[in-house]
């Protein structure tokens, strides 16, 4: 299956709203509260596009086989590049392929030495992250929500 990386503004907003309102997805995103309606979607896209403008990198929309599958990529967080990967449940099986491409970009063309991932404490199944080489690296509070930070060093 071909997977394209596009800018979030290039995908159908209704598909993004469907993803961001999916209960299985929302369960893992404590910073998103309330309905993700058209206005919230517009603000979300504007915020993510601003990251690209200010930092030269940011999150993409993932399109698999011509269908919107999710969003993610690298975003600045406390002076570091933090990896986000939010997929629609029907596309959870393609996460490893997307992850590999993001890692290649991070450690290849971007020349980063490490990246982080922030997970809410409710995410207890972390064995997959550990197999990928991520190590627990403290806690971080964002907008009153606690996250556990994991770090992957280049070459892992």
> Nearest 5 degrees, angle CA 58-CA 142-CA 71?
30
For domain 3-115, say whether CATH 3.40.630.30 is its number.
yes
Residues 6+ apart with CB under 8 A from 134: 117, 126, 150, 151, 152
pLDDT score at 76: 93
State residue 156's pLDDT score. Answer: 63
pLDDT for position 34? 82
Read off the pTM. Answer: 0.91
Which stretches of the chain drop beneath a pLDDT of 70? 156
Q: What is the DSSP string of 83-152?
A: EEEEE-GGGGGGHHHHHHHHHHIIIIIS--SEEEEEE-TT----HHHHHTT-EEEEEEEETTEEEEEEEE
């Amino acid at each position: 299956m071909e997977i394209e990386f596009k800018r979030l503004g290039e995908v159908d907003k209704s598909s993004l709203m469907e993803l961001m309102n999916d209960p299985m997805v929302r369960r893992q995103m404590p910073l998103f509260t309330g309905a993700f309606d058209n206005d919230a979607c517009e603000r979300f896209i504007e915020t993510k596009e601003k990251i690209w403008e200010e930092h030269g990198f940011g999150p993409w929309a993932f399109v698999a086989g011509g269908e919107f599958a999710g969003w993610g990529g690298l975003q600045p967080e406390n002076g570091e590049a933090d990896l986000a990967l939010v997929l629609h449940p029907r596309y959870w099986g393609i996460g490893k392929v997307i992850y590999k491409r993001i890692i290649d970009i991070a450690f290849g063309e971007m020349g980063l030495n490490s990246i982080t991932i922030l997970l809410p404490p409710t995410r207890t199944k972390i064995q997959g992250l550990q197999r990928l080489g991520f190590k627990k690296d403290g806690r971080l509070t964002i907008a009153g929500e606690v996250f556990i930070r994991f770090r992957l060093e280049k070459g892992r």
